[in-house]
Amino acid sequence: MLEPGQIVAEKYRILRKVGEGGMSIVYDAINERANKHWAVKEIKQESLRESEVTRYNLIAERDILRRLSHPSLPSIVDIVDEDGFFIIVMDYVEGVSLSMLLGEEGPQSQEQVVGWALQICNVLEYLHNQNPPIIYRDLKPGNIMLRPDGTVCIIDFGAAREYKAGRIDDTIALGSKGYAAPEQFGVHQTDARTDIYNLGTTLYHLVTGHNPAEPPYEISPIREIDSSLSSGLEGIIRKCTQQNPDERYQNAGELTADLKRYRDLDTEVLRRRRRLKRQMIAVAAVATVLFVAAGILQFAEGSLNAQSYSSLISRGQANYVRDSQTSASDFFAAIEQAPERPEAYEAFLDTIYAQDNSISEDEITWMQSSLNGSGNKVTTNSDIFATDNPARASNFFYELGVACFFYLDNGEVTTRARNLALPYLQRAANLQSLVADRQHVTDALLLLAQNSDSIFDSPGKAALAAQIGSGAITPGDLWTNLEVLTDETTLGQVGNTYIQLVMYRYVLNTITERYVSYSQYGISLDTQKDLIDQVVQGLQDLDITSESERQLRADLLDSSDIVINLINIAESNGITGIAESNGITGMAENSGGAGA
């Protein structure tokens, strides 16, 4: 067992043990050179010696996590297999596991649990949409971390596997007793519906406090345990945990739609609807006699069948690929019904992130108008949103700011796009509820949005030198934040591969436009070429499946060659050292160094 103070692989100092399982021990460690915490997972030697399954799991966990990028999944950064021990180094997830929360507080409120479940569904949908799909297979409270900002993170991919079309069963049956689906220990291959079952048992444990891994090892109706719980949620859990996979939700999208409207599925709500429907049928019968009233009754029937807030959102999500304009109308109709509620705004953005990779200025303007509107003429809808749930609001404003920055104009980052992004990024930063990496991205984009043009519009070198002396923003500060946008950790926070590609394009375009100016202000051409090399490496490492994104990557790699050639020509013409020749000395030190 590793000891506090011990240094592993010459750079990870062990601080403390944070958890232990059957085959591994997890420690909090720090890379002192980078001043960053990591989770170090040490595999017990007896596990490696005694079980080939253990080694198989480790290889699977390593290979799967290395190619995933999602805010609710940790990233593996290092594998060490030497000196008698085997460790995996991954992101350190601050917070507490949901199993520990259950132990300390008991059953959790159903509103909170549904919120967590929606986040988990988002992760499952991401995993199941990989090519080939990835089946997690071990979802339980102990493998879900709750961060301080209220977001969740799924850890421990030791039981995950890739779905293999045409197979009858799994190579290795894995899962946790009580939470695992029947097929995990039978003759059928696990698929996306297996994770749906695991999530259902997890929800059952969280809202009832009854551990399905303990006697009597069963999933009872949750209202038999607590009659105050929603009958709609009871039905959702019952459907998730059906023995036959065909009778469960077939994918995470279906489950998400019902979770978002679980109150609408309550027995009493359904009874009221059926009672109202019977009343309307009776009225309609009378209307056939009173022909004059037929028009009125037809109007009432149409009103009765009007789409609810939740169903408008669900329809918008389901129809987006087929008809994006109609789908956007559904989202906006839901926003008009309840502009102070966040769900429709979030669903619209989530759909863009997942499927569209574009947003129009009209859509942003419409959303901005709704957010700035008010029912009482004093507090805006966005103010209500931010007050009710700062962490949720900050993430929404962050994602809207990123969408404005990178999705307008086919991903060409323009001054207009930056100006539209600015207020949302500022609001996200002001709420101070973002996780550290998202805050890092926000700070970088804010600086670039505010100063990318104006900093180079100085009336002269002397004026710029005076600004630097007064502590104003410098070209070196801008350069530092361009470096932030190529950092692997930062890129893992921005979302999908399309945004990562656009971010790389933004960095390349900025250097192409201003490599001479940056050189004048202390950022050497060699430093700029180093950053381009980092962009090229990042582009080559991206796991891309769509043909359009492959073409964009190829174009960017060509662009990187062009700008390198331009810089080489500049070097041969004596561009380096212009800062000194113009009398701006000490610029590199004052502007952030950057290796000039």
CATH of the domain at 30: 3.30.200.20
**CA distance linking residue 527 with residue 68, whole number of Å:** 30
Judge whether 401 lies within some domain: no
Give the separation between CA 108 and CA 94, rounded to whole angstroms.
Answer: 20
Residues 37 and 115 in one domain: no
Same domain? 554 vs 528: yes
Are both 43 and 101 inside the same structural domain?
Answer: no
In this predicted structure, what is the pLDDT of residue 474? Answer: 74
- Does one domain contain both 132 and 75? no
Confidence of residue 433 (pLDDT cuts 50, 70, 90): confident
Q: Answer whether residue 157 shows pLDDT above 80.
A: no
16 and 118 share one domain: no
How far is it, in rounded angstroms, from Cα 140 to Cα 183? 17
Q: Is the peptide bond before 423 cis (omega within 30 degrees of 0)?
A: no
Instruction: Say which CATH number the domain at 224 has.
Output: 1.10.510.10
Question: Among all chains, which residue has been given the structure tokens 């410098």?
Answer: 474
Q: Are 133 and 163 in contact (CB under 8 A)?
A: yes
Domain match, 536 and 550 both: yes
Q: Is the pTM of this model over 0.85?
A: no
CA-CA distance, 387 to 378, in Å (whole number)?
14
For residue 515, the enclosing domain spans 452-596
In a domain, 359, yes or no: no
Q: Which tens digit of pLDDT belongs to each residue from 250-265? A: 999 999 999 998 888 8
Gap between the Cα atoms of 150 and 122, Å rounded:
15
Distant-in-sequence, close-in-space partners of 240: CB < 8 Å, separation ≥ 6: 196, 197, 199, 200, 201, 203, 248, 249, 255
- State how many domains the chain has: 4
The answer to whether residue 438 is domain-embedded is no
Do 84 and 175 belong together in one domain?
no
Whether residue 400 has pLDDT greater than 80: yes
Show which of 91, 120, 148 is a domain's final residue. Answer: 91
Is there a single domain that holds both residue 546 and residue 579?
yes
Query: Does residue 435 belong to any structural domain of this protein?
Result: no
Tell which of 252, 285, 304 closes a domain: 304
Residue 572 shares a structural domain with residue 486 = yes
> What is the Cα–Cα distance from 146 to 123, expressed in whole angstroms?
14
By residue count, the chain amounts to 596
Query: What is the torsion angle, in degrees rounded to the nearest 10, for the CA atoms of residue 146, residue 148, residue 150 and residue 151?
Result: -60
What pLDDT does residue 5 have?
92
CB 196 within 8 A of CB 252: yes
Phi, psi angle pair for 414, to nearest 5°: -110, 170
CA–CA dist 460, 249 (Å, integer):
65
Residues 521 and 588 in one domain: yes
Give the mean pLDDT of 184-208.
89
Q: How far apart are CA 445 and CA 36, in angstroms?
A: 22
Q: Tell me, yes or no, whether 110 and 256 share the same domain.
A: yes
- The neighbouring-strand residues paired with 7 are 13
